[in-house]
Amino acid sequence: MIRSEVIKSLLPVFADHHVVCNIGLPSQELHLMGDKPTNFYMLGTMGLSSSIGLGVALAQKEKVISIDGDGSVLTNFGTLPTIANNVADNFILLIIDNGSYGSTGDQPTYAGMKTSLTAVATACGCENVIECQAEEAPATLQKAIDSNKMTVIVCKCESGNIKVPVITMDPVVIRDRFMKSLEARNA
């Protein structure tokens, strides 16, 4: 399975949860397959999906799932100690690890070589770190949601992309509808 297939398989599990989605193809795929106000699409700033998601989780009560990539986590490695030391039990970091920088042409990442993000997250102090294979992603995510514990999931999948259009929605619209959805849910 490639990342777009993993995201597709997760749509019923995302359900009406709030999702912060990584820049580039992951956001474009999520937007194409299941656009809704509970999705926050990153249009810039590679690496910050986990930081944005943690901020949302710390500020309010609803569950937040950050979809990240192995390349993006490598870009913002400092995020893992911050997450480990600021536990938000309504936060799930889902790293879709295809061992490559998918949005830029599938250049290999170190996560596909010697570096294990699962081991790194654990070493950083994250308490619930689960590595799974692509096929196990829906069940693993559902279990993490049901556990009500901050969880880091490293989902291993194959490298590869489908053709998807860019997101043309205005960033302020993306942000505003996401905020309004959160506000309504927290009311």
Partner 1 sequence: MSIEDKIVADLVKHRIELVTTVPCKQLAGVIEKVDAEPSIYHIPSNKEDEGMGICAGAFMGGKRSAIVMQNTAIGVTINTLVTLTQFYRMPLPMLISYRGELGEPVACQAEMAVHTKALLAQINVPTYHLHKEADVEELDAILAYTFMCNKPVAILTDATFWNGY
Q: Which residues bind partner 1 (CB under 8 A)?
A: 20, 40, 42-45, 47-48, 50-60, 76, 78-79, 81-82, 86, 171-172, 174-175, 178-179, 182-183, 186
Closest CA to 159 of 15, 25, 30, 9: 25
Query: Is the CB of residue 155 less than 8 Å from the CB of residue 6?
Result: yes
Q: Do the Cβ atoms of 37 and 181 come closer than 8 Å?
A: yes
Q: Looking at beta carbons only, is 123 or 139 nearer to partner 1? A: 123
Between 158 and 183, name the residue whose CB sits nearer to partner 1. 183
* CB of 140 or CB of 181, closer to partner 1: 181
Q: SS3 helix, strand, coil % of the chain, rounded to 5?
A: 50, 20, 35
Hey, which residues does 2 pair with through a beta bridge? Answer: 158
Q: How far is the CB of 177 from partner 1 (least distance, A)?
A: 11
Question: How would you classify the pairing of strands 151-156 and 129-133?
Answer: parallel
Q: How far apart are CA 98 and CA 134, in angstroms?
A: 10
- Which amino acid would we find at residue 158? E
Q: Which is nearer to partner 1, 84 or 96 (CB)?
A: 84
Q: Which is nearer to partner 1, 20 or 141 (CB)?
A: 20
Rg from Cα positions in the chain: 15
Give yes or no for a contact between 49 and 75, defined as CB atoms under 8 angstroms apart.
no
